[in-house]
């Protein structure tokens, strides 16, 4: 079954606890947490303090998506705060292999993220080392943007490489996922769908999750 990771970027930040509890009881598989620094992306969100604060609120894995320059500096803090999966952008890592292994050595799952305009070849050498590959289907920075369908060609390429190399990482997509685009993602072979606005802008989260999952 396709996993659903609601992105709390679109949640009501004044009521984060109840928002997370709501999507957990509505069937979410992960809680997707978007960390933005105002440098790598043109927006600022939250840091380790908030991850630490929401940790006791849910038993779901915290899927932490770092959209920050110099992620190596902050990774230990996100680990201490209770992240279960930490994903770093290939565009921000000078020594991607070192960064991925630093995350894994701490007992946390490690993911690599690629932007829409970055080639799949950029992450081919790291595939044997990661637990997750996250494809941005929008340019990162904001919720509520439109899905970029050409990214699915890269997804299909990675699905093929995963098979050829006999690897088992999860494939996740993030950005513009809704009732219509989720179907395309599933057809391309995606395992985990991140959705922010399509879940949190809907009063009935259970229905929203079901619609995306079963599209
Ligand atoms: C975008 C973030 C996404 C965002 C998705 O930079 O990484 O996780 O919250 O929001 P929607 O689903 O509204 O496109
Ligand atoms: Zn994200």
Ligand 1 closest atom vs CA 10: 9
Q: How far, CA to CA in Å, does 124 sit from each of 51, 138, 168? A: 30, 21, 14
Are the C-beta atoms of 88 and 48 separated by less than 8 Å?
A: no
> Which token pair is 37?
């620094």
pLDDT attached to residue 156: 98
pLDDT means per 10 residues, the chain with 215 residues, are: 98 98 98 98 98 98 99 98 99 98 98 98 98 99 98 98 98 98 98 98 98 96
Distance between CA 212 and CA 151 in Å, rounded?
A: 19
Binding residue per annotation — 38? no
Q: Is the CB of 34 under 6 A from ligand 1?
A: yes
Q: Is 22 a catalytic residue?
A: no
Ligand nearest the Cα atom of residue 139: 1
Binding residue per annotation — 150? no
> Which token pair is 178?
């809704």
Q: Is 29 a catalytic residue?
A: no
Nearest CA to 4 out of 81, 60, 85, 84 is that of: 60
Binding residue per annotation — 27? no
Q: What is the 3-state secondary structure (H, E, C) of the chain?
A: CCEEEEEHHHCCHHHHHHHHHHHHHCCCCCEEEEEEECCCCCCECCCHHHHHHHHHHCCCCEEEEEECCCHHHHHHHHHHCCCCEEEEEHHHCCCHHHHHHHHHHCCCEEEEEECCCCCHHHHHHHHHHCCEEEEECCCCCCCCCCCCCCHHHHHHHHHHHHHHCCCCCEEEEECCCCHHHHHHHHHHCCCEEEECHHHHCCCCHHHHHHHHHCC
Contacts of 195 (CB under 8 A, 6+ apart): 4, 5, 6, 7, 177, 178, 182, 208, 212
Ligand nearest the Cα atom of residue 146: 1
Q: Is the CB of 54 under 6 A from ligand 1?
A: no
pLDDT attached to residue 67: 99
What's the 3 CA to ligand 1 centre distance in angstroms?
16
Length of the chain: 215
Q: Is the ipTM of this complex over 0.90?
A: yes
Nearest CA owner, ligand 1 atom 10: 143
Ligand 1 closest atom vs CA 195: 12
Instruction: Judge residue 12's burial from the number of C-beta atoms within 10 Å of its C-beta, 0-12 exposed, 13-18 middle, 19 or more buried.
Output: exposed
pLDDT attached to residue 120: 98
Ligand nearest the Cα atom of residue 175: 1
pLDDT attached to residue 58: 98
- Which one from 37, 63, 131, 174 is the annotated catalytic residue? 174
Binding residue per annotation — 47? no
> Which token pair is 203?
């009063």
pLDDT attached to residue 175: 98
Cα 92 to the chain's mean position, in Å?
16
pLDDT attached to residue 125: 98
């Amino acid at each position: 079954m396709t996993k659903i990771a609601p992105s709390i970027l679109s949640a009501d930040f004044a009521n984060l606890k109840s928002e997370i509890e709501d999507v957990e009881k509505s069937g979410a598989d992960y809680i997707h947490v978007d960390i933005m620094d105002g440098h790598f992306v043109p927006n600022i969100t939250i840091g380790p303090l908030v991850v630490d604060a929401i940790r006791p609120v849910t038993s779901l894995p915290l899927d932490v998506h770092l959209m920050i320059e110099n992620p190596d500096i902050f990774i230990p803090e996100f680990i201490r705060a209770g992240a279960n999966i930490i994903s770093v952008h290939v565009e921000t890592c000078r020594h991607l292999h070192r960064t991925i292994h630093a995350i894994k050595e701490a007992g946390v799952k490690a993911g690599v993220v690629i932007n829409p305009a970055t080639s799949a070849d950029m992450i081919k050498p790291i595939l044997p080392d990661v637990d997750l590959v996250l494809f941005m289907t929008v340019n990162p920075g904001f919720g509520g943007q439109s899905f970029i369908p050409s990214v699915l060609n890269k997804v299909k390429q990675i699905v093929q490489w995963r098979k050829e190399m006999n690897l088992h990482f999860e494939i996740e997509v993030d950005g513009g996922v809704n009732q219509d685009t989720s179907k395309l993602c599933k057809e391309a072979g995606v395992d985990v769908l991140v959705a922010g606005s399509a879940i949190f802008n809907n009063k009935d989260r259970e229905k929203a999750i079901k619609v995306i999952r079963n599209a």
